[in-house]
A and B are shown apart, each in its own frame.
Chain A
């Protein structure tokens, strides 16, 4: 959803502020009451006038805010005392730091530590604790990080995958949040004016540990922990992460402008658009979101021109500014202003990369991120926290899945461009983390780095010379350029750990953890194909194979289906709109399918493809069981749900080689991909799980974990 930002109010504000500042300037300079013989002596220059607009007002504001803070401080302390909050009374620590390294794999970490390549993590291991960290069913980031935040199993926080299915339409929908347009509009001709705000619902249930601590007066800085969009209101600061949409409302739609190609939608998340001749240069039109003030309007457009100077370089002109395009270099974040109506605009930011200049010309544009300086949707708590970070540190990516894996999958950018983008985003995150560590003197600092996950997804093939994805690699099988990328990645993450350690003292507990590990993704399994072959799923007469979103499925004859990454769903009567499996038969059917899938083999390669399939009742307990897949699949090493199955397609073949650059994954049996946990203190647990971190943190601050939490305090005796 977009938020239209009015310009009229801003103009009036500028006029008022400008007038006040000019008057202030006038009275500050010494102009006599009678007309001076030389009035220019009173003149201090327009630069000073401009300076006063900013500096005098900011100093005045600083004085006022500072005075207010000082005056309010004793009141706040008194209020905290009187309000009965436990606060810091029983706290055993001053600060807890969580450094999340998404997907940091224990096998690789142990190998590199053994080789002396991760000195900071090895130091933590030696002086504190290191262990593999049990992950969730399924081992997916939204699921695992939600368990980290809430200390409960998925049936209590309601997240099982990136996507849920609609039980009415069978269409997938985002599991973590829902954005809805305002309910009512005032319509005037082709225009429509919203009467109310768009609503954004967080669909993750349960309560986060930082919110529980916030209620007791303990402050937190939570940066980019997955499934924090929309941001929750609590005592602290939060920047949203995974599942934060781009300006188009998608999870990341890149645009490629090119002089070749037919245009249209890429298989995954991208659009190809024409780059047309314009004199000696080219022109194109970046598509933004639909105009929020018009019914059924097309997308709003920002036009640009491109001059190619040869040798891979060029000049881009967009939104009234021009930018040099250098070979292999992204532009900085560029603000794109989409005008919905006179005075109403929607702003986003994007980066550009000239990917080829001869014989064809192609320009890659990242997904249009929500501008953190002027967010069109709330992406932080308080809302101005995102603005603060942008003003202090510069523009940064706000998209949930910020690294554009789809563009590399589609070969719109190459490996190096992807790496440059990923590490640039990592740099942005480091600066934020450093700021939070610096500013949060006590309480919690949590920051998750996604770089470790995204780079492994895209470069795992370089750990295996015979990975099928090499067949689709323009660099060929012999490419050695990237064989050390993953090792470098682990070392870079270790460097971040080293920097964070500088903020750790004896009153600080420091955790480094990952939500899951990593395995190779060599073969995809289409369970819809398997269900079709085994009589559990049927297609409509004449329906084509390969139709996405289960559109060809004959629900009147289908008992089970799959989409997403790890779940099989029964088409249950009274639950799904066209369900046919009686509730009384569901348990038996689940067992039957689970038994058949457990130990499923890939006959072509004579390999185990599925370790185990679990009926949901055997792994979950909680109030949101109805949302869970009926069967959760634990794929074997090297296997995963196929790209087609994830989109709800039914194909002829069950097994398929994975030829995409996305060559590593973790959507397998959780036992195969535990995460890691390092801590600067010793704890006594031989099987820590990611659900233990929330109660552990509460315990460190002297708070008793709520009874509904499933995890244990790692520093306390285990539950009996």
Chain B
């Protein structure tokens, strides 16, 4: 899984990172457009195109029917009823391609969120680091210790929540950093990447131990030892700017991918 994530991280992060020095929308446009085209291709091959085309035409016909027979209120209502049932059928026809498309797109979105979803620690701003142990802490047992790289100051001693096995620290970035936080506990050591400075790069919000968890937390390889479930840094939320408009990256992604798909559907001969 670590290798799988590494490959995806490298490829997707590589595309997202194109032109990042100029503008984050360059990579965003590229990957969204490619996704739109990819979705279109898969959609065309996994959906019942004839049925979709027929259903869609009928929906359009029912709309025209309301204009053509507008004097007959009964027909207008009848056309509306057919429209609703037609829409149900239309959405039903989307189910099969959705099954094919959802899994790869989930992976893509998880990786894109790692790139665009959060911003590295802002210089001078505090952030919370949390370690989740696999069990509860003993009352008098040793507790994890945190060591930060140069440029990151650990402002508070760790605060334990004994019952839930969580321990949190407040840290503050003092200069641009790309390094690792080190956690020592019971003679063992764990690390967690940390970054501060310019936005838009692959960030790992949470580093995990579990296999399934690593499907959703893709920024780093899994933690090696079982005593720790995960380590998380609360990075600030990011928004992608364009022409003075700052929006969550998902909005840009949906707009660009759907526009690309819609604009190219004729070229690919796909109906939706």
Contacts and interface: CB of A to CB of B under 8 A. Distances in A.
A76 B64 contact: no
A18 interface: yes
B70 A51 contact: no
A214 to B, nearest CB: 12
B251 interface: yes
B245 interface: no
B75 A47 contact: no
Interface string B44-57: 00010000000011
B61 to A, nearest CB: 4
B61 A58 contact: no
Contacts of B105: 43, 45-46
B269 interface: yes
A51 B90 contact: yes
> How many of chain A's residues touch chain B, expressed as a range?
35 or more
Contact of B65 (A19, A22, A320, A439): A439
B83 interface: yes
Contacts of A47: 43, 47, 94-95, 97-98, 101
Contacts of A22: 254-255, 257-259
Contacts of B39: 46
Interface in A62-88: 62-63, 65-66, 69-70, 72-73, 76
Interface in B87-133: 87, 90-91, 94-95, 97-98, 101-102, 105-106, 109-110, 113, 117-118
A65 B68 CA distance: 11
Contact of B258 (A18, A321, A382): A18
B69 interface: yes
Interface stretch (A30-38, A122-130, A159-167): A30-38
B272 A54 contact: yes
A42 B67 contact: no
Contacts of A54: 56, 59, 90, 272
Per DSSP, chain A at the interface is: helix
B145 to A, nearest CB: 26
A233 to B, nearest CB: 14
B272 A50 contact: yes
Given A19-B255, A45-B102, A35 B59 contact: no
A684 B65 CA distance: 39
Contacts of B62: 58, 62
Contact of B117 (A35, A50, A63): A35
A405 B3 CA distance: 69
Contact of B254 (A49, A385, A391, A392): A49
Nearest to B66: A65
> How many of chain B's residues touch chain A, expressed as a range?
35 or more
Interface in B246-263: 248, 250-251, 254-255, 257-259, 261-263
A489 B250 CA distance: 63
A441 B64 CA distance: 17
A73 B90 contact: no
B216 interface: yes
B90 A35 contact: no
A53 interface: yes
A43 to B, nearest CB: 6
Contact of B66 (A21, A69, A390): A69
B3 to A, nearest CB: 21
B259 A19 contact: yes
Given A19-B258, A54-B272, A55-B90, A66 B109 contact: no
A441 B73 CA distance: 11
B22 interface: no
Nearest to B73: A73
A304 interface: no
A17 interface: yes
A248 B40 CA distance: 35
A18 B102 CA distance: 20
B13 to A, nearest CB: 16
A66 B113 contact: no
Given A14-B263, A54-B56, A70-B73, 9 more contacts: A11-B263, A18-B261, A40-B106, A47-B94, A58-B59, A58-B86, A66-B77, A66-B79, A441-B75
15 contacts: A15-B262, A15-B263, A21-B262, A22-B257, A25-B258, A35-B237, A40-B106, A43-B250, A50-B43, A51-B94, A58-B59, A65-B70, A65-B76, A388-B61, A391-B57
Those 9 A-B pairs whose CB atoms lie nearest each other, nearest first: A47-B98, A18-B262, A50-B272, A47-B94, A392-B61, A22-B258, A391-B61, A391-B57, A388-B64
